[in-house]
Chain A
Amino acid sequence: MKKVLLSIFVLVASVISLSAQTAEEVINKYVTAIGGADKWSKIQSLKVEGQIEVQGIAIPFTMQAVHMKGMRVDAEFQGSKIIDIVTPTKGWSQNPLMGKTSLEAITEDELKTKLDELDVQDEFVNYKEKGSTVEYLGKEEEEGTSYHKLKLVSKNGNEKVYFFDLTTGLIYKEESTVKQQGQEIKQAVKYLDYQTLENGIKMAFKSDMGMMMMVTKKVTINPTVDAAIFSGN
């Protein structure tokens, strides 16, 4: 009897450790697939140039960010300038298409959802040190293919669910929930066209948001970025 009980206990214990291990395994495989933690840790600033394609129209953009200090996106559409700025304490946005004709401070809700973007390294690189927690949610079907499903809660309290390709280990889809005025709004992005950069890291060059496709054309690693651009004044 003792023996049987023990084996049940071992089984339960192994089941628990299996699920814990799987989250680690999935993340390790992913981080290795995108170039490894060492290379990513060296990235302290980033510049990405590309365009947002929507209904056949291309809107060029530039994103500049300093790790955990500031991020700024500049885009232009038919002569209207669209700007998005995030810093650890405040954020601003200007979007004439949405009625914001000059830089205006964003609400606390909006800022909270954007704070994670200050991490120019991949958020799974040293995720524990960054204060994030993860949970393995098992395998789930997406468009007829099975993926590892994993939830990440960032230190800022943002929840995101990721779908990892079983063979490549890369992220195919991200589902996030943005909270505004107590209402949760769901968003989904599919990551396509992973390319390897000159320092050996890998990045998705296309982000498919359904109605919109963000296309990366050029990535500069560790450029010099003037902190003044993160001032919303």
Chain B
Amino acid sequence: MRVLLVALISGIGMLLHAQNVPSFNTAQFQVMGARALGPSTMSGRITAIEGAYADAQLNLYVGTAGGGIWKSQNGGQSFAPIFDKYNQSIGALALEPGSARVVYAGTGESNMRNSVSIGAGLYKTTDGGSNWQKLGLDSTEHISKIAIDPTDKKVVYVAAPGPLFKSSTHRGLYKSTDAGKTWEKILYINENTGCADIAVHPTNPKIVFASTWEFRRKAFSFVSGGSGSAFYKSVDGGKTWNKLTKGLPEGNLGRIVVTINPSKPSQVLALVEAKESALYQSNDEGETWTKLTSATGLTARPFYFSTLVVDPKDPKRVYRPAYDFNYSNDGGATFANTVIGGVAPHADHHALWINPSNTDMLFLGTDGGVYLSYNKGVTWQFLNNLPVPQFYHVSIDNQSPYNIYGGLQDNNNWMAPNTAPGGVAATDWKALGGGDGFWVQPDAIDEKIIYAESQGGDMYRINLRTGLSAGIKPKKQTGEDDHRWNWNTPIVTAKSNTKSATGKSQSNLYVGAQYLFRSRDNGRNWERISPDLTTNNKSIQNKAETSESVTGDNTSAENHCTIFTIVQHPNNENIIWVGTDDGNLMFTNNGGKTWTNKSNAFAKAGVPANAWISSIELSSHNANRIFVTLDHHMYGDNTTYALVSNDGGNSFTKFESEELTGFAHIIREDPKTPELLFLGTESGFFISLNAGKTWMRSKYQNLPWYSLVRDIKIHPSTNDLIIATHGRGIYIIDDIQPLREMVKSDLSKPFLFYPIQPFKYEYGAQYPQAASNLVGYAGASKSLAPTFYYYLKERSNDVVKIDIYNAANQKIKDLNGTGLKGLNKVFWTLTSNPPRVAKGGFVAQSSIQYAGFYGPKVPAGKYRIVVKAGKDSSEQILTVLPNPAAGLSEMALQKLHQQSMRVFLLQEQLADMVDTIDVKLAAWNKMPNSDEITQKIKAMDSFKRELLELNRKSIFFDETKFRKKISDFYLDLVTALEPLSEGQEKGINVLEAEMKGFKTRFKQLL
């Protein structure tokens, strides 16, 4: 009994302790928000576009492959994301007929390429996207089309191809008759066949066409078509179905696209994937069909292009956006693809919306953003405002400011500075070649040498000094098998201790086929440093050439049994880890002479064999610790496999958390704080503050909640966290040092004020800036100012006060802080409090008004920062260092401060003088009338008019009096980055002399 009691008490004790430590979520460090760099320059894959007018403005909804839904309320001039709390892969959108605010969104793109993402069901908004509700169909993974009965908006059809990598019953055609509350599956063939398309007759909505599609992707093959694929018609709203065959091709069919001619609904068009794929037409509501054309431009890659649209008013004008933009003027018998003028739309089209009120106006969704045409597609313009690029990887360099490098799905390789004057503009991004882009790496010694690639390992070296490039892909040597290069072939650069024959330091460059290659001369010569590191299982190697698919497709996307991940130890080039796409984790500690397969340890951690090794991270804190992420989604398993080993890879433990979803792409350990881990999956960015014991989904760092996170880097000198997403571009959380401090601190305390890093006076470059008309989407530039972080265990309703004292212990600045629960952040602009400025007259938007906002810059030195939150108070010392290299020497800063303070003093003296004048005038005005008083008032009033501008009439300043003179001078000084020259400084003498004169005269007027 006693024992039990003791156990109980100690249990309570533990409970109490646990209660003291607040339960954490990412809201508690929401101040560590990311800068979203985008860019919009090359945008990303667009999957759906819908539009309607509201309040005479064209509202557009744009669905993307991995960047959620974006809305424009001005015909595409600007967009805002409206789906950031939900799955980011959009398959289909539909607007309720007659509404611009009721929208259905089917998640899970249906353009079934190798890199397609996975959805989480169907959603609906009734208020234009401010609030969404989930309607179900959670496990369909891919939704291709939503159709609403034009005569009864409660009747909704959803075509779900269903899962791509596995058999599943969650596919087929679904129907709701209560606006989405409940669903019935009304057309279902089998576990391998989904529904690809649906069309509802515009005037007789009982007539419905649907196509079923059998398809399956594996890591090494893709099959489109089979006996399940067929074309159906219903005349009773989907209760019963008839298979359509008359005039249609025989044998196995693939994906079928159907559209009803809106202005001539007896006519139906269908693109049928078959042995000979072609466009078919029916003129009897689908009963019989005639082939129109089998032109290649229309029929290529049916699994990827499923858009067929007829002009709402002109029954002869047919659009088939596919690899390029095809249009017909004869109902589909012949097509042209001519685009005239400078801007040709990006290749690969997936969505087309024609404005029904002006059918000349087309919005086209491509692999590279949205294009707008005002003349039915003859000429185009690019909408440079959708930052939805799909990065595979991100790299950084050590320049100042450092650059970002990365490759994009179907959009080349790119680089840009992480920060730029006026923000990182679309024009700051520079293309580095490629087709699809993947790894882009600066050389480990010479950062002007860049290695990049396109799909299937077609790699090249760029010399940024000359701008020239050269191919460097290793060639097959005698005794080697044909090389197998992954779609997304790893290129890795690392340090080396070796020297060339001429004594030059060398760097290591690694690339992997099934063999690992190393070059120490920038990719000119390669040394094969491994045997085949994969399973070399012939049955899982690229089957595209022998595929049973109705239509073939071999683009290296199915290359398999390849190396996918390479990591060299940063301090020991003999230690190299390699991960393959078929589950091998290979290790060498002698630079590749011998290799050990460590993948046997995965099974015990619950990881299936053959899972792709998507990333390997070697701990900076423990030589035996290694992290691995694995991706098994190509076997229909979307589990998050993130593992850690503490014994050099002999055994692994899987991180378990209810928070984790999505197959894993990348894990990163903070090199400074071992407790801090970052994990990126297909479905979110996750953070652990306790070495993986618990995980939090990042919801308050400015990323969408279910971002597709492909890569994560931590900059070694700025401590920035750089996140590459496959659908929303690059995000940067500047300087994660406060997160490290927080992790180390005792969070059961009510209030903590963290140490402040010494700050070197620094300003971001002001010029040159991008032309403002060309910036497109601009990512925020980096803020440069000392930042104070404090922690509050509970939210404070009182404003937190921050007082700053100089070395002479004078209070020079008052700041207000926030009272957020968790981490709070306050910037100091390195200025002291602004002066009191003389009141009177109209001063808005003038130097006089601004003078009351800006304080003088403080000199270098030590500052004491006191933070007061309620009863709690704490202080830290901030050392402000000069930055002579930037012209901000200690002397210069001191001088600038002194000069500023001289004019500051004049501002306050004038303010005092005007206050006294106003008091006097008020008093005199109250006195009984007399000649003397009248005289005095008149004289004082006229004196005041010499000091202040009281006659402003236009929106500009009409006069300059003493107040404006000193305010202009003052503003110049407090915004300057260098002190006045000796000559310029004499200007202050003049103002001081003037002030002296005013003071003398003022005395006489009293």
Residues of chain A touching chain B, judged by Cβ–Cβ distance below 8 Å, are 53, 55-57, 78-80, 96-97, 99, 101, 137-138, 141, 143-145, 149, 151, 159, 161, 175, 177, 179, 181-184, 186, 192-193, 206, 213
Contacts and interface: CB of A to CB of B under 8 A. Distances in A.
Interface stretch (B206-214, B835-843, B974-982): B835-843
Nearest to B844: A96
Contact of A137 (B30, B131, B799, B845): B131
Contacts of A151: 127, 131
B133 A183 contact: no
Given A80-B842, A213-B799, A56 B699 contact: no
Interface string B837-855: 1011111110001001100
B55 A182 contact: yes
27 contacts: A55-B816, A78-B837, A78-B839, A79-B840, A79-B843, A97-B845, A143-B25, A143-B30, A143-B821, A144-B25, A144-B27, A144-B28, A144-B700, A145-B27, A159-B127, A159-B130, A161-B130, A175-B130, A177-B127, A179-B55, A182-B56, A182-B73, A183-B74, A184-B73, A184-B128, A186-B130, A206-B797
A159 B130 CA distance: 10
A53 B852 CA distance: 15
Given A99-B845, A179-B55, A184-B73, A56 B127 contact: no
A181 B852 CA distance: 34
A80 B849 CA distance: 10
A182 B797 contact: no
Given A97-B845, A144-B26, A182-B73, 7 more contacts: A78-B849, A80-B842, A80-B844, A101-B842, A143-B27, A144-B27, A192-B797
B844 A138 contact: no
Interface in B441-466: none
Interface in B687-739: 699-700
B54 interface: yes
Contacts of B816: 53, 55-56
B814 interface: yes
Contacts of A206: 797
A182 B127 contact: no
Contacts of B699: 141, 144
Contacts of A177: 127, 130
A78 B843 contact: yes
Contacts of A56: 814-816
A97 B55 contact: no
Contacts of A55: 816, 853
A144 B797 CA distance: 18
Contacts of B843: 78-80
A27 B600 CA distance: 59
Contact of A183 (B57, B700, B837, B955): B57
Nearest to B127: A159
A97 B844 contact: yes
A186 B129 CA distance: 11
A15 to B, nearest CB: 10
Contacts of B815: 56
Contacts of B30: 143
A27 B27 CA distance: 27
B267 to A, nearest CB: 36
Contacts of B821: 143
A84 B831 CA distance: 34
A149 B131 contact: yes
A78 B967 CA distance: 14
B548 to A, nearest CB: 44
Contacts of A175: 130
Interface in B643-697: none
A57 B836 CA distance: 12
A172 B158 CA distance: 37
A55 B813 CA distance: 12
Nearest to A135: B126
Contacts of B54: 182
Q: Is the interface of A mostly helix, strand, loop or mixed?
A: strand
A53 B798 CA distance: 12
Contacts of A80: 842-844
A143 B33 CA distance: 13
A108 to B, nearest CB: 12
A142 to B, nearest CB: 8
Among B30, B74, B131, B837, the one with the most A-chain Cβ atoms within 10 Å of its Cβ is B131
Rank and list the top 5 A-B pairs by shortest CB-CB distance, nearest first. Answer: A182-B57, A144-B25, A143-B27, A182-B55, A144-B27
Given A78-B837, A80-B843, A206-B797, A183 B130 contact: no
Contacts of B799: 53, 213
A193 B819 CA distance: 12
Interface in B35-55: 54-55
Contacts of B55: 179, 182
B471 to A, nearest CB: 50
A183 B839 contact: no
B316 to A, nearest CB: 34
Nearest to A176: B130
A226 B54 CA distance: 40
Interface string B1-45: 000000000000000000000000111101000000000000000
Contact of A161 (B27, B73, B131, B849): B131
A161 B126 CA distance: 13
B852 A78 contact: yes
Contacts of A141: 699
A156 B73 CA distance: 21
A57 B854 CA distance: 12
Nearest to A182: B57
B335 to A, nearest CB: 37
Contact of A99 (B73, B849, B853, B955): B955
B701 to A, nearest CB: 12
A103 to B, nearest CB: 15
Interface string B384-419: 000000000000000000000000000000000000
A151 B126 CA distance: 11
Contacts of A183: 57, 73-74
B971 to A, nearest CB: 15
Contacts of A101: 842, 844
A53 B819 CA distance: 14
A144 B57 CA distance: 36
A79 B839 contact: yes
A156 B609 CA distance: 62
B130 A182 contact: no
Interface string B45-80: 000000000111100000000000000011000000
A96 B842 contact: yes
A57 B799 CA distance: 13
Contacts of A145: 27
B273 to A, nearest CB: 41
A25 to B, nearest CB: 19
Nearest to B817: A56
Among A145, A175, A183, the one with the most B-chain Cβ atoms within 10 Å of its Cβ is A183
B499 to A, nearest CB: 54
A182 B839 CA distance: 40
Nearest to A57: B853
Contacts of B842: 80, 96, 101
B839 A143 contact: no
Among A57, A80, A175, the one with the most B-chain Cβ atoms within 10 Å of its Cβ is A80
A47 to B, nearest CB: 23
Nearest to B131: A137
A149 B131 CA distance: 10
Interface in B789-812: 795, 797, 799
Interface string B111-134: 000000000000000011011010
A59 B365 CA distance: 48
Nearest to A100: B844
Nearest to B700: A143
B73 A193 contact: no
A137 to B, nearest CB: 6
Among A78, A183, A184, the one with the most B-chain Cβ atoms within 10 Å of its Cβ is A184
Contacts of A181: 57
Nearest to B73: A183
